Homo-oligomer: A and B are copies of this chain.
Amino acid sequence: MTVVDQTNLADRKASTDAATIYVCITCRRASEPEAEPRPGAILAAATAKAAEGTGVVVRPVQCLANCTRGPSAAMRCNGSWTYVFGQLDVVCGPALVEGARLLASAPDGLMPWRGRPEALKRGLIARIPPIDFQEDVE
């Protein structure tokens, strides 16, 4: 049992430490004409490049359903709140990685406002608690 428990703890810690960013590769600004490559795809590539060597995982996805407020990205660590950002642009890769690292180092699982890149302040769309979250709302 002890060995099993230690393995589980190690797995959980690794998983908690590594933030994952999901970047929509289909996104474009609603006001802009369709063109290839999509701004979302350019942003996904730029984010992957900015994440090199940081431990942050970048996953391209087809759709985050934030289409009228794109380009879009979401991020979380295991145990953290999940954040959705919109109205990003193709140069926001480093800002996303910086935000993901802030989130990964936040002891309460909430991305601090102070020090958060500007694009992740003005582009905040929503945040969702971790699955077992229970708030004292009394």
A binding-site residues for B, Cβ under 8 Å? 1, 4, 15, 20, 22, 25, 59-66, 72, 74, 76, 78, 82, 84, 86, 124-129, 131, 133-135, 137
Contacts and interface: CB of A to CB of B under 8 A. Distances in A.
B59 A129 contact: yes
Given A4-B1, A20-B131, A25-B137, A126 B72 contact: yes
A86 B126 CA distance: 10
Nearest to A65: B127
Please give the count of copies of this chain that the complex contains.
Answer: 2
Contacts of A25: 137
Nearest to A8: B8
Nearest to A20: B131
A74 to B, nearest CB: 4
B22 A128 contact: yes
